[in-house]
Amino acid sequence: MADDTGKLKKGNFMQALDSIRQEAERLMARRDLPPEVKAGLDRIIGLTRSKFDLGGDIE
């Protein structure tokens, strides 16, 4: 499999998390993935949709 990490957005934690969720959602549309892979992607999507309290602005 080709390295496609360049497709992920660079930025802060929330941007990275959103990028991971979007990529997992894109992969879920594939019909050639085994059920255990789809189950893993489904867990990733569910976890990355959660709201995170990062303790406010830390800049």
Instruction: State the pLDDT at residue 12.
Output: 76
Residue 25: partners with Cβ closer than 8 Å, 6 or more residues away: 45
Instruction: State the pLDDT at residue 31.
Output: 94
How would you write the pLDDT of the chain (59 residues) with one tens digit per residue?
Answer: 566 666 655 567 778 888 899 999 999 999 999 999 999 999 999 988 876 665 665 55
Instruction: State the pLDDT at residue 9.
Output: 52
Is residue 51 within 8 A of residue 35, CB to CB? The reply is: no
Residue 33: partners with Cβ closer than 8 Å, 6 or more residues away: 27, 41
For the chain, the structural domain boundaries read 11-48
Q: What pTM value is reported for the model?
A: 0.64
